[in-house]
Amino acid sequence: MMLVLIGIGFSIGNHFGGKFADLSVDKTLIGFLVLLITLMLIFPILAQSQLGAAIGLVIWGAAAFAIVPPLQMRVMSVAHEAYGLASSVNIGAFNLGNAIGAVAGGAVLSFGLNYVAVSMIGAILASIGLLLVFVQMKLASKPDSPLQQCPQA
């Protein structure tokens, strides 16, 4: 049942991530990454009950997949004529992120820490992603940046 709930969250996030990314790629990334970080920090509290865990998983799924459309828009904005290649590399990057998350979570557990620490590592990794969004925003503000083609406002 929990997997169904997280899948529902994925669908919700993908829908709203696309809608908000049409308005502003940067604000969508920032907003949903902040939501994801916050959720990972409070998830150990939510997970103390089945209802809390269920609600947390739906929100987590939504926040995690809401960042996909703006990231895809960002990649397509700099792809020029190589849309297929850029899209393939983008999906490869998502899979690399999945692998990094799995390795980090597994390492935390291998070191004897509990599942709360896994959530904290997730928050740290999402925070690094948020930091990279701010770096990208700074780079995109340069007049000759190809990233200026994405909706920024």
pTM above 0.85, yes or no: yes
Reported as a single tens digit per residue, the pLDDT across 76-111 is: 888 888 889 988 998 999 899 999 999 999 999 999
Q: Is residue 34 over pLDDT 90?
A: yes
Residue with the two structure tokens 């739906």: 58
Q: Which residues of 14-48 are buried (b: 16+ CB within 10 A; e: fewer)?
A: bebbbebbeebbbebbbbbbebbbebbeebbebbe
Owning domain of residue 22: 2-149
Number of domains in the chain: 1
Helix, strand, or coil (residue 25)? helix
pLDDT bin (cut points 50, 70, 90) of residue 149 is low
In whole numbers, what is the pLDDT of the chain averaged over residues? 91
